[in-house]
Amino acid sequence: MNPVRIGICGLGTVGSGTVNILTRNKAHIDARAGCNISIVQIGARRDNPNVDTSKFNVTRDIFEVANNPDVDVLVEVIGGTTIAKDLVLKAIENGKHVVTANKALIAHYGNEIFAAAKAKGVTVAFEAAVAGGIPIIKAIREGLAANNIEWLAGIINGTGNFILTEMRDKGRSFDDVLAEAQALGYAEADPTFDVEGIDAAHKLVILASLAFGIPLEISKVFTEGITKIASEDVTYAEELGYRIKNLGIARRTDKGIELRVHPTLIPEKRLIANVDGVMNAVLVKGDAVGPTLYYGAGAGFRRRRKKASLASL
Ligand code: HSE
Between CA 66 and CA 57 the distance in angstroms is 14
Q: What is the pLDDT of residues 115-167, one digit of tens each?
A: 999 999 999 999 999 999 999 999 999 999 999 999 999 999 999 999 999 99
Q: How confident is the model over 65-108, as pLDDT tens digits? A: 999 999 999 999 999 999 999 999 999 999 999 999 999 999 99
Whether residue 186 has pLDDT greater than 80: yes
Cα 236-239-240 angle, rounded to 5 deg = 90
The model's pTM: 0.95
**18, 106, 127, 194, best to mutate for ligand 1 pocket (most atoms within 8 Å of CB):** 194
Give the residue among 94, 138, 135, 140 at the shortest CA–CA distance from 117: 94
Kindly report each contact of residues 163-167 with a partner whose C-beta sits within 8 Å and lies 24 or more positions away, as own/partner.
Answer: 163/195, 163/226, 164/226, 164/229, 164/234, 164/244, 164/245, 164/246, 165/276, 165/277, 167/229, 167/231, 167/234
The model's confidence at residue 1, banded by pLDDT at 50, 70 and 90, is confident
Q: What is the pLDDT of residue 185?
A: 87
Of 118-127, 137-146, 260-269, 302-311, the least confident: 302-311
The amino acid sitting at 257 is I
Q: Which atom of ligand 1 is nearest to the CA of 193?
A: 1
149-155, strands of its sheet edge to edge: 222-223, 256-267, 242-253, 149-155, 279-286, 290-297
Does position 58 have pLDDT exceeding 70, yes or no?
yes
Ligand 1 centroid to Cα of residue 298, in Å, is 6
What is the pLDDT at residue 307? Answer: 52
- For residue 76 and ligand 1, the question of a CB distance below 6 A is answered with no
Res 310: pLDDT: 57
> What's the pLDDT at 305?
47
Q: What value does the mean pLDDT take over residues 266-271?
A: 97
Res. 248: pLDDT tops 70: yes
Mean pLDDT, the chain, whole residue set: 95
Which atom of ligand 1 is least distant from the CA of 159? 5
| Residue 129 Cα: closest atom of ligand 1 | 8
